Amino acid sequence: MGKKKFEISPEELEVSRIRIPRQGEVLGIVEMMLGADKLRVKCEDGNVRISRIPGRLRKRVWVRPNDLVLVQPWVVQTNVRADLIFIYTHTQANWLKRKGFMKTNSSV
């Protein structure tokens, strides 16, 4: 006898692959690369933060201006600094817009 095949709807499959912001995380758009693994991010909550790329992502991902990113603000300097957590592809960014996760109409 063969194994039972479970069918997953395309919506469930799509949701499970895209990283959704959790508590304390903010969506943002990269404004400018500053060098030294830092970038300026305009966040959904209206703040412009200097975000750093942590070591685990430093050589694995490439960040460009106008990319949609997920950042986590620091505990100490909440409105000024943040850590980069995830970078969305263009398709994932469009999906987040359609589903209403992005509050402002941004150019992604």
- Confidence (pLDDT) at 4: 59
Residue 68 to residue 74: CA distance in whole angstroms: 19
Q: What is the pLDDT of residues 60-74, one digit of tens each?
A: 888 899 999 999 999
Whether residue 92 has pLDDT greater than 70: yes
* Mean pLDDT in residue range 87-92: 91
Q: What is the pLDDT of residues 15-41, one digit of tens each?
A: 557 888 889 999 999 999 998 889 999
Residue 73 to residue 49: CA distance in whole angstroms: 8
Using pLDDT thresholds of 50, 70 and 90, give the confidence band for residue 106: low
Q: Show me where the domains of the chain are located.
A: 21-99
Helices (H) and strands (E) in the chain, counts: 3, 5
What top-level class would CATH report for the domain 21-99?
mainly beta
Tracing tokens 């903010």 back to the chain, one arrives at 26
Helices assigned H by DSSP within the chain: 10-17, 55-58, 90-99
